Chain A
Amino acid sequence: MSFERSRQLVIVGGGPAGMAAAISARAAGVEEVTVIDERPHLGGQIYKQFAAGWKVLDPRRAGKEFVRGRRVIEEAERCGAEVMPGSVVWGIWGDRVAVYREGGDAGVIVAGRIILAPGAYDRPVAFPGWTLPGVMTAGGAQSLVKAQRVIPGRRILMAGSGPLILAFSAQIHRYGANVVAVCEAAPFPGPRRMLDLAAAAPGNFDLLADGLGYMSYLARKRVPYRYSHMIVRAEGKDEVERAVIARVDEQWRPVPGTEQSIDVDTICVGYGFFPSIELSRVIGAQHVYDEDLGGHVPVRDRWMRTTQPGVFAAGDGTGVAGSHVALEEGSIAGIAAAMELGKVTEAEADHLARPKRERLARLERFRSALNKTYPVGPGVYELASPETVVCRCEEVTAAEILDSLVADSSDPNGVKSITRAGMGLCQGRNCQRQIAALIARHAGKKIDELPVFTPRPPVKPVPIDLIAEERPEEAWITEVG
């Protein structure tokens, strides 16, 4: 039998934004706060903790993020919020949050207010050979090394763009992974970009210092860092045996005649992240498209409200901006929820939120500078060849996708229906954008001019035994056709 409970505030996601929201909401007087996360512990991706049974003997050697993460996690655990780990929010109808626990129970929490903080996931980049074992996301590789101390392979190529691949490369190398080269798609930051970054530095010194530290580490270890280079192909029979890279122009398009083959058994791909917007879509919130934020993101006001009353959103799930921004946004959302629940006045809320808004503004300056240095090039969507599988789950190629368009349709939903692309277990997370990019290019439109796959619950696969319930039949309706 399923449960039905009610809570003043339900927070979906226990990463930095979700934890910060819980801490702030509790501090502002919200009595009933529940944080729901899929993983066994709080922390999200960036503060991923070691699993039970592992003992941290020297936290400082476990890395900066680990220590930072532990501080936030401990505060979240102490703040008086209820935590539901190992639990999946699979649908939201109005104020009803549907959740299940694998191997456990399922039910609905009727929420006074909801804060969505589901985070983001690595951008899936389709190129020939990307489905071979040995090709993995930079985030996946980093997590394997840091949280399980396992190397993904013997010779690793890191290919991507932005500060995170710099950080990941240095971090996993430090743990003992053999990173043979790093390919950064953006050009080497010239003096203009350097000045932008320096100008944005005040208040962001630790971010800058981290970056410089990683760069000098890789230089010291003689790990080649190639700017304006991208992965264009993975080769091998049943696993990766070689990577083919090429020089790219400012649009991230390969320059003919510059292909080079490198012997590696692992390719870590890190071209940014996509915000997890399945829940914000399912509730009917308005979204806008911003390539540098990761694509479609929910529209929000200064209190982190989405366009759906009662639902707030914070952190990378609203646009990828990193953990520091997530912490501040989460706090503001928590304060805003407390305000709407009548626990603090607007004046009090403004006062509580002020320092967070100030930090956000400083972080925003740095983020803009970074975006100018590492803008996403349209070439990231153009690496697939006609035979490249674009929908990994249903194994649908780029050619099949384009061939399925009938009578000058440019609707991804039609493609999905006919080819099954987007119908797999990942529910379109890994292919939807690439499909849109293929169709857009073919039809001479922009990605955000195309319809998206119609969003509906369940946003994650949900076991029938947990959600099936005998329901009364009203006047029955025969299935038509």
Chain B
Amino acid sequence: MDRRLPTHGDVSRGETITIEVDGEPMAAHLGETVAGALMAEGRRVFRETFRRSRPRGLYCGMGVCFDCLVVIDGQPNNRACMTYVTDGMKVATQKGWGE
């Protein structure tokens, strides 16, 4: 599912790279944030909350709300909207505080 907009020739995206999301490879572009890359593929549920096991995703998009938390290379509590993708980055949806 690609929610990347055509750029009408005004800007060109960064180079294509591959990240891993929950063990599966996913294409992304350098210059995208983890949130952007996930949203671009229609993956809007980033984690399950600790207390009530509810789905959460992107809310403020600017690093203030700490809701878009994902596990990156084994470390929990990373803001997907503030982390830029790198080739080979391992992203996982977070359950609670990252069992």
Let me know if A134 and B31 touch, CB within 8 A: no
Contacts A150-B3, A176-B5, A429-B64 given; indicate if A133 touches B56 (C-beta within 8 A).
yes
Residue A135 lies at the interface, judged by CB distance under 8 Å to chain B: yes
At the interface, yes or no: B65 with Cβ under 8 Å from chain A? yes
Question: A62 vs B8: C-alpha distance in the bound complex, in angstroms?
Answer: 10
A149 close to chain B: CB less than 8 A = yes
Cβ–Cβ < 8 Å partners of B8 in chain A: 61
Q: Which of A59, A136, A239, A424 contacts B61 (CB 8 A)?
A: A136
**Does any Cβ of B come within 8 Å of A58's Cβ?**
yes
A124 CB–B CB distance under 8 Å: yes
A54→B12 contact, CB < 8 A: yes
1/0 per residue, CB under 8 A from B, across A424-457: the answer is: 1110011000000000000000000000000000
Q: How far is the CB of A67 from chain B (nearest CB, A)?
A: 11
State the CA gap A389–B35 with chains docked (Å). 23
Taking CB atoms and an 8 Å cut-off, the chain A residues in 44-91 that contact chain B are 45, 50-62
Residue of B at shortest CB range from A88? B63
| A150 CB contact (under 8 Å) in B4, B12, B55 | B4
Kindly list chain A residues whose C-beta atoms are within 8 Å of the C-beta of B4.
149-150
Known: A395-B52, A426-B64. A148 touches B32 (CB 8 A): yes
Residues in B with CB closer than 8 Å to A152 are: 3, 39, 44, 58
Q: Is B90 an interface residue (CB 8 A)?
A: no
Whether A51 lies near B31 (C-beta < 8 A) is yes
Q: How large is the interface on A (under 10, 10 to 19, 20 to 34, 35 or more residues)?
A: 35 or more
In chain B, residues 16-41, which have Cβ atoms closer than 8 Å to a Cβ of chain A?
A: 29-33, 35-36, 39-40
Please indicate the chain B residues that have their CB under 8 angstroms from the CB of A124 in the complex. Answer: 60, 65
Q: Is B89 an interface residue (CB 8 A)?
A: no
Contact B58 A150 (CB under 8 A): no
Q: How large is the interface on B (under 10, 10 to 19, 20 to 34, 35 or more residues)?
A: 35 or more
Whether the pair A140, B59 counts as a contact (CB closer than 8 A) is: yes
A132→B60 contact, CB < 8 A: no
Known: A61-B10, A395-B54. Contact between A121 and B60, CB under 8 A?
yes
Task: Using known A-B contacts A51-B31, A133-B56, determine if residue A148 contacts B36 with beta carbons closer than 8 Å.
Answer: yes
Measured CB to CB, the closest approach of chain A to B39, in angstroms, equals 5
| Contacts between the two chains (Cβ within 8 Å), count | 155
Within the complex, the shortest CB–CB distance from A139 to chain B, in Å, comes to 7
Tell me if B12 and A38 are in contact (CB < 8 A): no
Task: List residues of chain B with CB within 8 A of the CB of A50.
Answer: 11, 31
A392 interface residue (CB < 8 Å to B): yes
* Cβ of B15 under 8 Å from chain A: yes
User: Across the interface, which residues of A come within 8 angstroms of B7, CB to CB?
Assistant: 149
Q: Are A426 and B65 in contact (CB under 8 A)?
A: yes
A144 close to chain B: CB less than 8 A = yes
- Chain A nearest CB: distance from B18 CB in Å? 15
Other-chain contact of B66, A141, A239, A425 (Cβ < 8 Å):
A425
B63 and A144 within 8 A (CB): no
Q: Is the CB of A58 within 8 A of B10?
A: yes
B: residues with CB less than 8 A from A are 3-15, 29-33, 35-36, 39-40, 44-46, 49-52, 54-67, 69, 77, 81-82, 84
Q: List 26 A-B contacts (CB under 8 A).
A: A38-B63, A53-B13, A56-B10, A62-B10, A121-B60, A121-B62, A131-B59, A131-B67, A136-B59, A136-B60, A139-B60, A139-B61, A140-B59, A144-B35, A144-B39, A149-B4, A150-B32, A239-B57, A392-B56, A392-B59, A393-B67, A425-B69, A426-B65, A429-B64, A430-B60, A430-B64
Chain A to chain B: the 9 pairs with minimum beta-carbon distance, closest first: A140-B61, A53-B14, A133-B57, A61-B10, A51-B31, A425-B66, A53-B30, A148-B36, A53-B31
